[in-house]
Amino acid sequence: MDTKQRILDEALTLFSEKGYANVFVADIAEKVGIKAPSLYKHYKNKQAIFDAIIEEMNRRFLEEAGNLQINGADATEDAEIYKHISEEQLITLGNNLFLYFLHDDYTRRFRKMLTIEQFHDKKLATAYMKQYVDDPLSYQEILLGLMVSAGVLQTENVEIMTLHFYAPIYMLLTICDREPEREKEALIKLEAHIRQFNRLYARNEEIIQDNKISRRKKK
């Protein structure tokens, strides 16, 4: 990774830990292994570093959104998959979502930085909301909607059903961001949450028992 990129990387780490105002350009430089004035060979000033991070974030989010939307668009044809989803698969889905958000280094640092900086700038607040609230909700709403159509889940209000699925995940995530030592506890609750969600919303009795799904329905 070249210096210019390393500056962004180290800056993001520091901003996510202490917030923009509490990070000195000298701190960033030190992490990169150069002196503060050398930073200015790469970026006009401190603000430009921050802006570059946001720009990169937007770029990555667009890419990712592209991927998700491809899934979303194809999802109607994936209906068969969701028809046969088991509880264990649902848990795996939730786990993956959770662990991706929690452990993907880029994602995690962005999220923490936005959490700190969102009140400086309305645009950042909106970005936070979109990335960690609205987009996950609408993506999952598509999936759950498919499971409803497939007869796997009850025909409750899907928007609220999605809230019931995702809000606990979001909450556990905010716990882990702030108190990482609670991750183990959070994972246990995550699994219990999904199992209970499944018990509440699953349409057929047999779906409650793992793996024995799709005997009655299908084709």
Q: According to the binding rule CB under 8 A, does residue 72 interact with a second copy?
A: no
Question: Which listed residue (11, 16, 42, 202) binds DNA by CB under 7 A?
Answer: 42
Give yes or no for residue 24 binding DNA (CB under 7 A): yes
Which does residue 116 bind out of a second copy, DNA, none, counting CB within 5 to 8 angstroms by kind? a second copy
Under rule CB under 8 A, residue 31 binds a second copy? no
The option from DNA, a second copy, none interacting with 199 (CB < 5 to 8 A, set by class) reads: a second copy
Asked if residue 201 binds a second copy (CB under 8 A), the reply is: yes
* Cβ 21 to a second copy shortest distance, Å: 3
Candidates 134, 138, 157, 153; CA nearest to 194 is: 153
* 10 touches 31 (CB < 8 A): yes
Instruction: Give me 211's structure tokens.
Output: 């793996």
Q: How many CB atoms lie within 10 A of CB 45?
A: 11
Tell me the closest approach of the beta carbon of residue 14 to a second copy, in angstroms. Answer: 11
Contact between residue 108 and residue 101 where contact means Cβ atoms under 8 Å apart? yes
Task: Answer yes or no whether residue 36 interacts with DNA by CB under 7 A.
Answer: yes
Q: Residue 107 in contact with residue 113, Cβ under 8 Å? A: no
18 in contact with a second copy (CB under 8 A) = yes
Please name every residue paired with 153 in a beta bridge, in sequence order, or none if there are none: 202
Q: Which one-letter amino acid corresponds to residue 186? A: A
